[in-house]
Structure 1
């Protein structure tokens, strides 16, 4: 009986091995290992207080990037898009391989910090049979989430500022005194980066890209350049005092207009009301933004020294802020004009340079940097949008006396009799400079500027506002600054007047 059972068992084994062996070998060959991609989340972007600005989430099994502050931070955060052909072929960030579902940064911090935000995809290995049925799971390589990026931005104040811009063409920057950290970088009109995420809204995107008047995709704070007008005078005043062209006692008479041959160069007060400021020293010149004083000062200094000091302040030069597409600008001098146009430099060119007109062009971020040098008592700090960046500050070697005189003029500009009349009522002592810059395109349009720091004696913040083709700086930009500062310094009862229109 035992012998018979053994023979039956042996027959079964032989049948499985010899007769059915080919069948099972074929089955094994038909089985295959498959890889299922596990997409990694991009890292979060948070503000200086840990508020989440941008995060990844999964909707219906699809990874989506969510921008919690929408238009208010669109120019800062940027957006994401799928990898293009070259990125798929060659990879990014030192050769990191991508796939058809990979999302990469396009503009803003999403682009500049892409390699930090980009996670590492995982995969699951499974064995399936010839019919695609699961045989077994072989293992899983977990996806690694991208690193978090902390910005110096304060989302609360960013949103407050964006609300104040009210659809105008405006750039506004608020930075921290002593560090160069940017608290607010607002630009209007703006775009909602959510329109580019998950299921892109093609109609909205088309409208953004084709809006050549509003240019909502443009970060006006650092990606556009403008004639600075009188806010440029802070650098010129410093140049005059530091180069010994003037001192605290030097005066020029405001004659209303200066004539050079057939050309006339007037002060704004003469043009507007036909009156003059009389004898003007450096403090009064800043307080009243007197063009005649700065024409004469520029004539004494010459274009090369003005350009030298403008460069020291960072005007016409990229600040190095960690956002793509920053623009340089230009501070011309005699050598530049001869090289680029083959023409000589005339006295009228110096006059225009001295008041921030002519070929001078800067970004609002550069003006914020210029202003911060005075607030920082002569130190220039590298501008940064990252909370933990190791940005350096350097002394420009400006004397305490020069800083004191320029601060006095800026305090005067925000006080009774100064040009920034909407800021007269503050309890907090402010230091500011207005600017009204001719666009120079044949129209009578002007850019409206106001740049300030406060409190004047112990500054916390530097604030710069530009309203593109807005009008006069005192009338248009100053009220925006005032509305922001009354909340910052908790002065709810301070009245910030403006014209009815």
Structure 2
């Protein structure tokens, strides 16, 4: 009896243990209920999406990029049909084991494929990876023949850029390429994704948002092995907008021919509107090399070229303008009332601030009327001494020297117009009076680009009216979008500077004599009111030249800015020929474009007259049957 009582007592569970067991069961149920709540309520949409992704694949449909035409509707940039291979990263399939087979079929190395995949490692798994672009027919056949073994490979039809051959207008048009990691971190590309093709330079970059369009997509049903078994729907792509440039193809061809084999730039502008009629930079590059996949060999070739083929020298070359700056000096001297009655006897140079500054020739008696066509340095040394640097800087700045013009192309430079404030800010030093002498002939610290000089000198010839240069033909974009472009590329824009009519006449008549009896007489065009100013700018000091031993790169740069007619011109052409020697050489190049322009205008006028005669004859025949 005593033993039974002891056994019963030992078998009895204590209330504490029982309560602990109950609490544990309740806690477990709460955890399970919470997990079910998260799965079925809180995260239901997310898991539903993942489930959809397991059976529905989104295949992109690339939007064709807008075409680019010249001002008369002639095609400059087209698209061509291309096929690209994309890699689909299915969550349920380990495609990495197939890499050797994929690499062999696509004529790639395993390392190349792994490099591409690493680039997209943080992209969403449902986003296809562009594995190889513009694949060949045998690579397409390989993918089709291995659909069952390699369902992760997909071919997509795309439209790719087709640029003119030989780098024609390459710096103006630009090129496209795959967006870089640095670009993806910029605000401008906030809505872009890795793998997107974007404009990298020129018009392609400036108007990328207009040209690129909106991609579409197909929602296809796939089985557990990734094979397509049906289609749910399709969102069609929206093609990019076509654009017409202000460029005249005939003038562009003439400018390209004139600059062939040279290093430098040429730009032609309509001063009435600011429309860029032609733009050439040499040497050039082939944008088609960038449109698909750029080879290391070609990239290294253009990078090592000392003449910088990737630079658009029309807007990015910052060089001393030489004697073309004398037109700006003449404008400043006349408006200040200094140059009208100034007479200088040129005996081959002059002494200023204790130093002798030479002139190319002994010009004898020189005044403002013959100083421009003779390009007499002695006259402009004297004028610079009288005006002093801040007065010169005031007038030069009013014409946009030392400032961006605001042209709608990326990476324009501002150039340099020195002044006392400029030197103090940049060099923490005062301006010495003798430094102004070199500035007077466009040397020293003065630096300008061809597009700046074209705008400045044509502004003077237009009576003080300056227009913002632009490459897109007016009226194609909404006003708000156009204003946004101008905000992105700020500059001195449209403006009017004071210019007395009598001073306007003096300068333009003297520029006409430059092409008749002056420094550019060899570029004279018979029957055409062709005016301009030459410039020869040293690339190094006389001491450095003596030590260099000569060579091509020690030859002075050749400048010329010309226009027609002499007052309120219809076209202005600025030429920079690097190491081209005398400015008269560049004048001959500009003359080719001006002659092409005038002859074309005359043909149009004759055609209009002929059409009018035909209409008149038709009218007479109706009245007198």
Aligned to 1:52: 75
**Cα 1:250/1:86, change in 2 over 3 Å:** closer
Query: Is 1:144–2:254 an aligned residue pair?
Result: no
Query: Is 1:250–2:342 an aligned residue pair?
Result: yes
Higher mean C-alpha displacement, 225-234 vs 155-164: 155-164
Query: Is 1:118–2:218 an aligned residue pair?
Result: no
Query: Is 1:33–2:79 an aligned residue pair?
Result: no
Residue by residue, what CA displacement relative to the aligned partner does 1:197-253 show, whole Å, maximum 9, x if unpaired?
124344223211221x12111111111111011101111111111112232x43222
Residue by residue, what CA displacement relative to the aligned partner does 1:32-58 show, whole Å, maximum 9, x if unpaired?
121111111222222211222223322
Higher mean C-alpha displacement, 391-400 vs 418-427: 391-400
Whole-Å separation in 2 of the counterparts to 1:30 and 1:486: 64
Unaligned runs of 5+ residues in structure 2 are: 1-50, 84-156, 476-481, 487-492, 546-553, 601-625
Which of residues 264, 278, 283 in structure 1 aligns to 2:356? 264
Query: Is 1:188–2:282 an aligned residue pair?
Result: yes
Whole-Å separation in 2 of the counterparts to 1:178 and 1:52: 25
Which of residues 458, 466, 490 in structure 2 aligns to 1:380? 466
Aligned to 1:172: 266
Aligned to 1:479: 588
Query: Is 1:489–2:583 an aligned residue pair?
Result: no
Contact 2:515 2:531 in 1 (8 A): yes
Contact 2:508 2:567 in 1 (8 A): no
Contact 1:329 1:363 in 2 (8 A): yes
Contact 1:420 1:434 in 2 (8 A): yes
Which of residues 142, 158, 169 in structure 2 aligns to 1:73? 169
RMSD after superposition: 2.3
Paired residue secondary structure (1:331): coil
Query: Is 1:95–2:205 an aligned residue pair?
Result: no
Aligned to 1:291: 377
Whole-Å separation in 1 of the counterparts to 2:294 and 2:431: 52
Query: Is 1:462–2:568 an aligned residue pair?
Result: no
Shift of residue 451, structure 1, vs aligned partner? 0.7
Aligned to 1:356: 442
Query: Is 1:421–2:521 an aligned residue pair?
Result: yes
Whole-Å separation in 1 of the counterparts to 2:180 and 2:496: 45
Aligned to 2:29: none
Unaligned runs of 5+ residues in structure 1 are: 1-27, 270-275, 492-501
Aligned to 1:304: 390
Whole-Å separation in 1 of the counterparts to 2:224 and 2:52: 9
Shift of residue 485, structure 1, vs aligned partner? 2.7
Contact 1:303 1:350 in 2 (8 A): yes
Alignment size in residue pairs: 452
Aligned to 2:87: none
Aligned to 2:320: 227
Whole-Å separation in 1 of the counterparts to 2:398 and 2:220: 63
Whole-Å separation in 2 of the counterparts to 1:44 and 1:342: 51
Aligned to 1:20: none
Aligned to 1:436: 536
Question: Which structure is larger by alpha-carbon Rg, 1 or 2?
Answer: 2
Query: So what's the TM-score if we normalise by structure 2?
Result: 0.69
Higher mean C-alpha displacement, 154-163 vs 228-237: 154-163
Contact 1:433 1:452 in 2 (8 A): yes
**Cα 1:54/1:92, change in 2 over 3 Å:** farther
Whole-Å separation in 1 of the counterparts to 2:451 and 2:397: 14
Whole-Å separation in 1 of the counterparts to 2:380 and 2:54: 85
Which of residues 118, 121, 130 in structure 1 aligns to 2:224? 130
Q: How does 1:444-459 map to 2 (within 5 A)?
A: 445-457=555-567, 459=569
Whole-Å separation in 2 of the counterparts to 1:415 and 1:29: 79
Contact 1:375 1:462 in 2 (8 A): no
Which has the bigger relative contact order, CA under 8 A and spacing at least 6? 1
Residue by residue, what CA displacement relative to the aligned partner does 1:391-444 show, whole Å, maximum 9, x if unpaired?
86422121111111100110111112x111212352212111011111126235
Query: Quick check: which one's helix share is greater?
Result: 2
Aligned to 1:330: 416
Paired residue secondary structure (1:187): strand
Contact 2:180 2:194 in 1 (8 A): no
Shift of residue 80, structure 1, vs aligned partner? 1.2
Contact 2:468 2:494 in 1 (8 A): yes
Contact 1:91 1:97 in 2 (8 A): no
